[in-house]
Structure 1
Amino acid sequence: MLTNDYVPGAPDWIDLGSRDTAAAAAYYKELFGWEFVSAGPDAGGYGLFQLAGQTVAALGPLQDDNAKPGWTVYFETADAEATGKAVEQAGGSVRFPPMDVFDQGRLAGYTDPGGAEFAVWQPGTNKGLDRVGAGGLCWTELYTTDAEQAKTFYTTVFGWDTEGMPLPGDSGTYTVVSRAGGGQEGSHGGIMQLGADMLPDGVGYWQPYFAVADCDAVAAKAAAHGGSTVMPPTDMAGVGRIALFKDPEGAYFALLTPEESMA
């Protein structure tokens, strides 16, 4: 699972782009108890989701009228420019080039060869999320039509280690991704191949998982407050209980009650 002992290639930030940030802040407060704190008058409406005073995610208005609401996963980089070059050489594209965020750090946005958008964060004074795991981001998962292509791309760009695990019922292979040299203890996400008919507009995307103490209870809130159920709470052997949703604006996210906390 994720830790906040960040190293290059590991997820270190996540934010939600929304058309209605006030409504989004209210929705996620109902689900997770997160408080929205503005980043200040110069931040263009961007702010932080906090739990017990610790930053667990962020929220801001969409910057493009054609953009769709959604969560963006950021991976740490020591050099955003070098990562951008690696992305292009590996077959991805640049959505926006590296830019400074005050003294906080540098960010850049990219798209992988399968169309999944992601971003990178080069830390300055902001080293990343204060809190991951319980109450926050605990896993990241890429859904794509070409898992082998994705595996090659991300291992080239970030140097990830990968390990294939058979899915139940001989339904394919799930690829677990880890920080370089981290093994299973350093795993932070997975890659799953799906048919184009199972993806929005046939395009891959990164989905965040948020750790909750009671998947069923939070899933009920997610639906009651305007979310759409993609997959109801389901037990996954060796993992825990998970549920997949779209929030009221259509942003995909998942819930996870880890197996060890269900004992």
Structure 2
Amino acid sequence: MKTALITGANKSIGLETARQLLQQGFQVYLGSRDLDKGREAAAQLKAQGLQHVEAIQLDVSDDDSVRAARTTIGAKTTALDVLINNAGINGGMPQSPISAGMDQFKKVFETNYFGVIRVVQAFFGLLRESPQPRIVMVSSSAGSLTLQSDPTWKYYQHKGAVYHPSKSALNMYTIDLAFELLGTSFKVNAVDPGFIKTDFNGHRGTGSVEEAAKRIIKYALIGPEGPTGKFFSEETNPETGEIPW
């Protein structure tokens, strides 16, 4: 049975992504900063007949938590097939480049950027044991420098000096990681799930979590000939999905 770890998976897009991977026959480790909430989410999935799920305490902004999660999962499996870096925070509003405080920047980057690096580095050994390891970075088209500088882009007026740069940094890490792993069986891609109606944006989104999860797991399930080191947003580019960095 293939295995997957999803960070920030106790609700919204992360939880639905877990559900869809379970339906694909995966054993899913459901990462949750609050273990009780993670266990409640796992119980919800099990009540739907999806039994191969386990909640793992995982706060991506905390070194000790990430190390403990690696130890816990490493005691249960010898390989990890899929890592979905979904955990993220928006940092609150407003996000003016002039008035946003340094604490605001640091808190967002600690989760959205440094947190991803922590998890990737901690779990790389387990991923390397998979015959076809996949890493999916849940990013945002808002982190695209090309789109954000294009006045014709439909979200051009929506700026966020804290959250958006955290995703731009994540995108650059995705490029570097994919490059380092060229010639191996790894596939590493960034995926924008779209403008989805969740707590994250005060339910102002227009898409569903089901749509978002489907877009994410598409790149968790790609075969050996699939892309790596690419940025995808099917909402932005319905034809091929690929968008500019």
Same fold (TM over 0.5): no
Larger strand percent: 1
TM-score by length of 2: 0.34
Larger helix percent: 2
TM-score by length of 1: 0.33
